[in-house]
Chain A
């Protein structure tokens, strides 16, 4: 996402080691979305305090990521909490978040294929129909454009639907509704009708699901004005992002990954909601900034193990917010390391990595010591054969090689 910037507005206190002139990107208020009333507990992954509007900022936030450098490369830092918490799988975390929100607000409902008594193809809605009835957890006929449109209509009348795409790829059928209506109607109606929907579902390359079921829809949707996109990658952030997405008054697309549903993690017992527009610091480092999201986070962390053994110190950021990018966190990292590697599952052309490369080049060009390297999937339909499929996705050795190349 390219953002055009000019040096306007009040500068906040940043490290004054580099002075800016008006051409440089300046980082304005920490709150990228201003004046957002939050009565719930919002956690920032870098432990900084949020500005006014929040009631309880406290110990939890301060204990977060910056201290908890992952000793195990793939442990999400935020989970090393002081409280015991409870362990669950990612799809259960999604369900827990969903259930808590349905409990909290009677307007929240779920719409999708096989979400009711079947419990959803990936069991994210299991048990909800029994608890809330099959009108509130609604099974739909196979017509994505129709039930997405239905969700939009219901949202304009005050409900807060969560629209499940059985696979994100199926949402291509709903593109017209998502782009022309979901993203636009709040704007074209002059703010009269709001559309607080959450569109969610599994996407990404799975295990031999075939080309049509291995789509990366974030590439196609990223241009649509009026929507927000987030990608979850751990049970902790899955639950937090699900809750945040439901509470948001904007339409939010929550990308889950087919292969991450069975990840296990210990998450806090107390209620928490994450910030939709924020990236997650997975592993602080000094030598290179690796930006990634969703499943590729795990490939990156696996590569990080190897890199650490080889003496490198990568900083790994799970960008989480795909639209808009958290250029604040990303920018701070780049100013420290001066080298960027993007690892994504999208295809080379027109993916999230492509947009991120453009955004970074525009905003942080002067801080880069080397060209940005972006590792992505090839511009081919995902093949079914397991070996070919493995090679279509970025693997840890490629990441290691890229970092070595970048840090030469």
Chain B
């Protein structure tokens, strides 16, 4: 991680070491994965991990990373990471009497006579991994996976479908046909590319701005419409607001309105995968705002302790309703929190579909093979309003929105790349747009006609079996409706 204040503190340690003729202390990451994934943390265009100049001294190895020796607290499964850590840590020879080390639970800690606070901010921010440049051209020598034409075409066309779906449903809300909607505008690449890098049996715990993941997995447009209209064909039986999709079949866990409560759920799901030794992982999505919640912090910490295969995917889109990122946090975004909790992390360009695909693919591999959580911060921009209840021009400039809708637009960038490979064309575009619009209009019209769920569905599923008090309450409401039919909506079946 490039960080000059970190370099400074490393430098001071090195100086100190040199002056006291103390052999180098190796620090290794608690999982060997970080060393392997150094490539991921930098694009080739930026220099590798900076080495303090004094480290060219023969006794000092240029590598400085961080260690945790668990000897004092080794229990059961934790031995695994202790073993891997201890393989990397060079044992101390007999300590010089002037050099003392505290053998503290969690690992040995060196003392320093320097009264130096590590700065809360760094001059250089964590770099952002990207594969395509602003004009959709691949960056030379970037680490990225090759994808097939078939996959690329599906990715691109699903991104367009998502865009069109958002536009049409948003319009439907404005026309009063559905009560509420929230778009994914600007985050299409995150939705589709991350889904493309996962397998269908990976569990997905979404916040609410990730319907694209469900779309990728084959959830029909008609069913999206059914949920938004809350009719009897809705999986959720009309019990939730629009965009609160959920499908067990697609391993997509029902959206709850509460922010970030899905993050501990995801850790629990990953725990169940670990217990049952499954070959899949869990992914959970949340925004920059969601990363401020207690649930986020506790869950990430917990996942690190448990060593479970979960990908924490933060969509840093710059805004939490009207709260801009600099009023949300003062750290270098969310990626640095990974380090704080001992979780390998990466910052990626959230408007670059190929970067997202490669990063999630690799993260998934890490999570499963090494049984570790991974934190991904994707930098993107929410070009739409927070929801249909919001008018974002009230708190941000239209210019800013237009700028992100223009050049940085993830769909446009990916399209440029597709066209440069000859895999897409204007005809394909307009044909796809047309057919998707048509499908969606039909879906909406059809969903609008379908009956709403019956009264019975108000009481079912509160428990596994209907208890007596709910039976009575249902009977009461039925009787009341029968008696006062004119006071109740006529289109709700009994």
Q: B434 an interface residue at 8 Å Cβ cutoff?
A: no
Our pick among A190, A225, A249 for the contact of B462 (Cβ within 8 Å) is A225
**Is the Cβ of B302 less than 8 Å from the Cβ of A145?**
no
B77: chain A residues within 8 A (beta carbon): 134-135
Query: Interface extent on B, as a size class?
Result: 35 or more
- Return B202 CB to nearest CB of chain A, in Å: 12
Q: A5 an interface residue at 8 Å Cβ cutoff?
A: yes
**Is the Cβ of B302 less than 8 Å from the Cβ of A188?**
no
Q: A125 an interface residue at 8 Å Cβ cutoff?
A: no
Q: 8 Å CB contacts to B: which residues of A1-31? A: 1, 3-6, 8-9, 28
Contact with B along A138-182 (1 / 0, CB 8 A): 101101011111111111111101000000000000001100110
CA of A306 to CA of B407, assembled, Å:
86
B254: chain A residues within 8 A (beta carbon): 185, 188-190, 192-193
A226: chain B residues within 8 A (beta carbon): 462-463
A32: chain B residues within 8 A (beta carbon): 467-468
B301: chain A residues within 8 A (beta carbon): 141, 143, 146
Q: A117 an interface residue at 8 Å Cβ cutoff?
A: yes
Of A33-41, A199-207, A237-245, A332-340, the one contacting chain B is: A33-41
Number of interface residues of A (CB under 8 A): 63
CA of A368 to CA of B275, assembled, Å:
55
Using A34-B466, A155-B268 as known contacts, say yes or no to A5 and B472 having CB atoms under 8 A apart.
Answer: yes
**Is the Cβ of B236 less than 8 Å from the Cβ of A147?**
no
Nearest to A27 among chain B residues (CB) is B468
**Is the Cβ of B468 less than 8 Å from the Cβ of A28?**
yes
A36: chain B residues within 8 A (beta carbon): 465
- Return B258 CB to nearest CB of chain A, in Å: 5
- Return B229 CB to nearest CB of chain A, in Å: 14
CA of A34 to CA of B268, assembled, Å:
31
- Return A16 CB to nearest CB of chain B, in Å: 22
**Is the Cβ of A150 less than 8 Å from the Cβ of B264?**
yes
**Is the Cβ of B258 less than 8 Å from the Cβ of A180?**
yes
- Return B244 CB to nearest CB of chain A, in Å: 7
**Is the Cβ of B468 less than 8 Å from the Cβ of A154?**
no
B205: chain A residues within 8 A (beta carbon): 153
* Residue of B203, B235, B258, B464 most packed against chain A (CB within 10 A): B464
Our pick among B258, B265, B460, B469 for the contact of A3 (Cβ within 8 Å) is B469
A154: chain B residues within 8 A (beta carbon): 268-269, 271-272
Our pick among B236, B266, B306 for the contact of A189 (Cβ within 8 Å) is B236
A1: chain B residues within 8 A (beta carbon): 469
**Is the Cβ of B269 less than 8 Å from the Cβ of A145?**
no
A324: chain B residues within 8 A (beta carbon): 467-469
**Is the Cβ of A35 less than 8 Å from the Cβ of B465?**
yes
Contact with A along B263-301 (1 / 0, CB 8 A): 111111101111110000000000000000011011101
CA of A35 to CA of B463, assembled, Å:
13
Q: A136 an interface residue at 8 Å Cβ cutoff?
A: yes
Of B34-42, B245-253, B359-367, B443-451, the one contacting chain A is: B245-253
A60: chain B residues within 8 A (beta carbon): none
- Return A175 CB to nearest CB of chain B, in Å: 11
Our pick among A4, A34, A109, A181 for the contact of B258 (Cβ within 8 Å) is A181
- A-B contacts besides A3-B472, A143-B298, 17 pairs, CB < 8 Å: A6-B475, A28-B468, A33-B468, A145-B264, A146-B294, A149-B267, A150-B271, A152-B264, A153-B271, A157-B269, A159-B275, A180-B258, A180-B261, A187-B239, A190-B234, A193-B248, A324-B469
**CB-defined A-B contacts under 8 Å, sample of 5:** A6-B479, A141-B302, A143-B299, A180-B257, A189-B235
